Amino acid sequence: MKNIRNFCIIAHIDHGKSTLADRLLQVTNTISARELQNQTLDDMDLERERGITIKSHAIQMEYEKDGEKYILNLIDTPGHVDFSYEVSRSIAACEGALLIVDAAQSIQAQTISNLYLALENNLEIIPVLNKIDLPSANPEEVTDDIVDLLGCDPEDVLRCSGKTGEGVLELLHTIIEKVPAPVGDPEAPLQALIFDSVYNPFRGIEAFYKVVNGEIKKGDQVKFMATNKKYFADEIGTLKLNQVEKKTIKTGDVGYIISGIKDASEVKVGDTITLVDNPAAEAIDGFEEVKPMVFAGIYPVDTEDYEDLRASIEKLRLNDASLTFEAESSAALGFGFRCGFLGMLHLEIVQERLEREFGMTVITTVPNVSYEAYLEKDPEKAIHVHNPSELPDPSGLNRVEEPYIRAAIITKSEFVGPVMSLCIEKRGELQSQTYLTQHRVEMIFNMPLAEVVFDFYDRLKSISKGYASFDYAPSGMKASKLVKVDIMIHGDVVDALSALIHVDNAYNIGKKMCEKLRELIPRQQFDIPIQAAIGAKIIARETIKALRKDVTAKCYGGDISRKRKLLEKQKAGKKKMRQIGRVEVPQSAFLAVLKLND
């Protein structure tokens, strides 16, 4: 056990975590030159296409130093704020963390929030300066930033290049020297913490765990403490690039278990595995529940696929524990699910994975956040509103509270003005402004989560030429003047397009939505009115004109009454058609509402 090292790699997005992991795998000969490809651990097509890590990936390496054999369990984590839940789970299974900082970009918002996560879990932090081979690298200045942040000595900061492999061997030796060995009692009853799981269509659910106390043997009868279900450990082993079967996994080590579990709801990430014969007295604590930030409805395009969609979301949830869902129905779209996500990128990735991995084509409704409504008759009792259609009647409402966040933005000093005006436009209040160096500023805003959901991140990147980094944490609920804006097409309310919006923005957004829908809904044989309404009051209207045939083309001159007669006849036909006509809203219209500022 004293020769085991469990560590994870944490950093802001695109600071070279996965490339550095490749070099570590190469130096320890864990993978052959033939198996090596760029970002080896990113095994999902989506990760390769976008160049981001979506899932944390565990892999075991073996290395010999001074005649001693060491087992190194590495977990490569995502860097985007939307996948911070993956990072928190990885940190729970480690004793040390490599904090990687890009020598060209310096410290960014997610670097700081990941560092605090690791410090809360008492991890040994090894600061690493990566990408020192870049022409734009500024190692001296960035080292000073790291020293200020961590309070370490400048010589403690390791300098590496994931691309050229420079400094990787020294990094490996530092991990062995500095990261503490896991602590646990090999004689105690088995306690193993599940930190991830994945669905295998042939073998059922594979759970990944870290053994905290005791040991697990092949063939043992085990119990999952949260669900109280019992299984046999049909196969256990460690995670190399492919799974390696073992007879025993001892204290402090990381491994996988396959026990033929078919039902996705029986494995919960954060659960404790113990033995049936000699059970542990209590489960491992310190695991936090996920708090979804953004809610959206996901509906099958064909209503008959509802059950298939349920199965697909359950399997996907195994692999992505931060996804939450519950069944709901909509008048416009039929039966579907109201899902909770950690952010807009998370929503996009889930939708894409449903299409690619499970072949499900889905319609996503307008994303919104979760509100709390209070009624006049009981102003203390909160009603949770996940969907605008659940908002109680405004006449009986006392107040509506919306979630606020503490947003930390780090940017270059020249972009302070544009960033500030964007945040104030989004109803943000500046809390503090700190100069980290003379060129880098950290700004803290208190702002409504609903304003950040749509296009905030994209606009922040464009006004700062890509130099602003953004991170947020919930800061509580606050009463706001919110109204429900309904979109009516041809007189019918389309509940999937309803949104809860602040009074000041309601008219603007209602008008933009109507204009956007007018472009996207195909013309029919009759006029289609598109209206935005708050209660019974119409605040905006656009009309899609009918397709008309030129019925007067055959009249050359002659009496005007002949033309009028033909036009009146056409008008009567259109009127009749309008009464029986139905408007199909295309899928692109539901998605277009997300991009109102384009």
Q: How many helices (H) and strands (E) does the chain have?
A: 14, 31
Q: Are 490 and 471 contained in the same domain?
A: no
Based on the structure, what is the number of domains in the chain? Answer: 5
Starting at the earlier edge strand, list the strands of the sheet with 57-65: 57-65, 68-76, 4-10, 96-102, 124-130, 158-159
- Is residue 375 situated within a structural domain? no
pTM (two decimals): 0.70
CATH number at residue 510: 3.30.70.2570
Per-residue pLDDT of 26-39, as tens digits, reads: 777 767 666 666 66
Residues of the chain with pLDDT under 50: 598
- Cβ-based neighbours of 566, under 8 Å, separated by 6 or more: 551, 552, 555
- Could you tell me if 344 and 232 lie in one domain? no
In sequence order, the β-bridge partners of residue 216 are: 249
Residue 15 in marked binding region: yes
Q: Give me the pLDDT at residue 590, please.
A: 65
113 and 165 belong to one structural domain: yes
Looking at residue 598, its pLDDT comes to: 47
Query: Are 354 and 238 contained in the same domain?
Result: no
Does residue 7 contact residue 171 with C-beta atoms inside 8 Å?
Answer: no
Residues 166 and 217 in one domain: no
Neighbours of 67 (CB within 10 A): 5
Task: Identify the domain boundary among 136, 157, 178.
Answer: 178
Q: What is the pLDDT of residue 323?
A: 82
Together in a domain, 56 and 94: yes
Q: What DSSP letter does each residue of 91-159 carry, written as one string?
A: HHT-SEEEEEEETTT---HHHHHHHHHHHHTTPEEEEEEE-TTSTT--HHHHHHHHHHHH---GGGSEE
- Whichever domain contains 445, its CATH number is 3.30.70.240
**Same domain, yes or no: 259 and 115:** no
Residue 382 included in any domain? no
Cα dist from 156 to 67, 127, 171, whole Å = 25, 7, 11
Q: Would you say 146 is a known binding-site residue?
A: no
Tell whether 516 is in a known binding site: no
Domain boundary among 178, 206, 229: 178
- Reference 372, options 400, 395, 397, 405; nearest CA is 400
State the CB neighbour count (10 A cutoff) for residue 507.
Answer: 15
Same structural domain, 91 and 174: yes
Cα distances (Å, whole numbers) of residue 120 to 95, 113, 115, 272, 512: 12, 11, 9, 21, 45
Q: Which two structure tokens, joined as six digits, stand for 162?
A: 């994931």
Q: In this structure, what are the phi and psi dihedrals at residue 41, rounded to the nearest 5 degrees?
A: -75, -20
Quick check: 207 and 256 in contact, CB under 8 A?
A: yes
Task: Say if residues 468 and 411 touch (Cβ distance below 8 Å).
Answer: yes
Same domain flag for 400 and 358: no
- Of 178, 213, 228, the residue that ends a domain is 178
CA 509, CA 452: separation in Å to the nearest integer?
15
* 528 domain-assigned: yes
Name the 3-class secondary structure at 254.
strand
In a domain, 289, yes or no: no
Distance CA 382, CA 401 (A): 9
Q: Name the β-bridge partners of 443.
A: 409, 433
Examine residue 386 and state whether it is found in any structural domain, yes or no.
Answer: no
First-last CA distance in the chain: 56
| pLDDT tens per residue, range 296-310 | 888 887 778 888 888
Q: Are residues 163 and 257 in the same domain?
A: no
In a domain, 325, yes or no: yes
Check whether residue 41 and residue 166 sit in a common domain.
Answer: yes
List the domain range (segments joined by +) for residue 357. 294-365
Asked if the structure places residue 16 within a domain, the reply is: yes
Same domain, 113 and 204: no
Give the CATH number of the domain where residue 154 resides.
Answer: 3.40.50.300
Q: Is 324 annotated as a binding residue?
A: no
- Whether 184 is covered by a domain: the verdict is no
130 is in an annotated binding site: yes
Which residues, at least 6 apart from 419, have a Cβ–Cβ distance to it below 8 Å?
A: 409, 411, 443, 460, 463, 464, 468
**CATH code for the domain in which residue 310 is found:** 3.30.70.870
18 annotated ligand binder: yes
**Element containing residue 9 per DSSP (H, E):** strand 4-10
Tell me the CATH number at 247. 2.40.30.10
Of the candidates 525, 509, 537, the one whose C-alpha atom is nearest the C-alpha of residue 453 is: 509
* Helix (H/G/I), strand (E/B), else coil: 383: strand
What H or E segment, with its residue span, contains residue 204?
strand 204-213
Of the candidates 196, 210, 233, the one whose C-alpha atom is nearest the C-alpha of residue 87 is: 196
Residues present in the chain in total: 598
